[in-house]
A = this chain, B = another copy of it.
Amino acid sequence: MSGKKQLYVIKIGGNIIDDEYKLTNFLKQFANLSSPRQLAGPDAPEVHKILIHGGGKLATKLAEQMNIPQQMIDGRRITDAETLKIVTMVYAGYINKNIVAQLQANNCNAIGLTGADGNVILAHKRNHPTIDYGFAGDVDTIDTNLLKSILDQQIAVVMAPITHDQKGQLLNTNADTIAQEVANALSTLYDVQLIYSFEKSGVLLDANDDNTVISSINPAYYQQLKSEQKIFAGMIPKLDNAFAALNRGVKKVIIGKAEQLTDLITGKAGTSIVHE
C-alpha cells in the first residue's frame, strides 16, 4: 500500500449517455461509490472520483435540428465553428449539468468542469498534415491543483470533453484521451484506477458473445492474444492506451459495462488490465 488515497477516474461512453435508464442506473452506482463501507468495510480509505463523459448522439441530433451538416473522418467529428458551438452547448451545458443535478439528487456532491475551468486541461488545435479537424484539441498539460482541492472536499468532478488553448479558444477533445491524461497526471497524488465503462461487458474473446469476457490481461497475455488475432481490432487502441497508462503510474485499468460499475470496481465483472 502506498498510503495514497484512492481515486477512480471513470469514463462513460456515449451509448450510455443516450440511454436514460442506463445513465440513471450508472449514476446511482457512481454516487454510492462515495460510501467506502459499501465496498470495503468501515475502515476503508476515503474514495475520490472523477467522471468523464462523452457526448452521444445529442450533438448530432441538435446539428440536424439546426441544419448544420456534420462531417466525420475515421469516426472523428470534424469540428467547424458551428459544430464547436453545438458540442460546447451539449457537452458542457446540457449533458454535464444534468449529470451533476442527478448526482446531487443521489446525495453525491459534484461539480461539472471543462478543461477551460481552472485551466485544468490545456490543449492545442490539432495540427494534422492532411486532414483539417477544425477546432479539435490535443492535450498538452493537466493542472492538478484545482482538481485536488475539489476532490479533497469530497466533491466528485464531472468532466465534459471540451478543453482550451489559453488564447480564448475552446477545443473539442476526445473523452478517452482526457480520461487517460487526467488519470496519469493524478497518479502522483492518488492511487488511481482508470475505468472505461461502455455497453460491452469487457474485452471479449468473441466480439459477438458477451459471455467471453477476459477477466485479466497482463502484457505477456496481451502479446499472445494479439499474435493469435483474438483481440477485436477496435479494442487494440483502448488496450494500448491502458498499458501506456499503467506505465505512467496508474495502478489498474478496468474495461467493462457501465451498468456493472460497482462490480467492475470490486473485480466481479469486466476486464482488468494489470502490470503482472
A→B interface (CB under 8 Å): 62, 65-67, 85, 88-94, 96-98, 100-102, 104-105, 109-114, 116-119, 145-146, 149-150, 153, 155, 162, 164, 166-170
Contacts and interface: CB of A to CB of B under 8 A. Distances in A.
B100 A89 contact: no
Given A66-B66, A145-B153, 19 more contacts: A62-B66, A65-B65, A65-B66, A88-B97, A91-B93, A92-B97, A93-B94, A97-B117, A100-B116, A104-B164, A104-B166, A104-B168, A105-B167, A105-B168, A109-B118, A110-B117, A110-B118, A112-B117, A149-B153
Contacts of A118: 109-111, 150, 155
Given A88-B93, A93-B90, A155 B166 contact: no
Q: Which 9 A-B pairs have the closest CB atoms?
A: A93-B93, A89-B89, A105-B168, A89-B93, A111-B117, A92-B93, A101-B164, A101-B116, A100-B116
A150 B152 CA distance: 13
A81 to B, nearest CB: 12
Contact of A88 (B98, B109, B114, B146): B98
Nearest to A120: B111
A91 B119 CA distance: 20
A238 to B, nearest CB: 28
Contacts of A109: 118-119
B88 A104 contact: no
A97 B116 contact: yes
Contacts of A162: 97
A105 B100 CA distance: 27
Contacts of A62: 66, 89
Contacts of A94: 85, 88-89, 93
A104 B143 CA distance: 13
A16 B47 CA distance: 43
A14 to B, nearest CB: 17
A136 to B, nearest CB: 16
Given A89-B89, A111-B117, A105 B149 contact: no
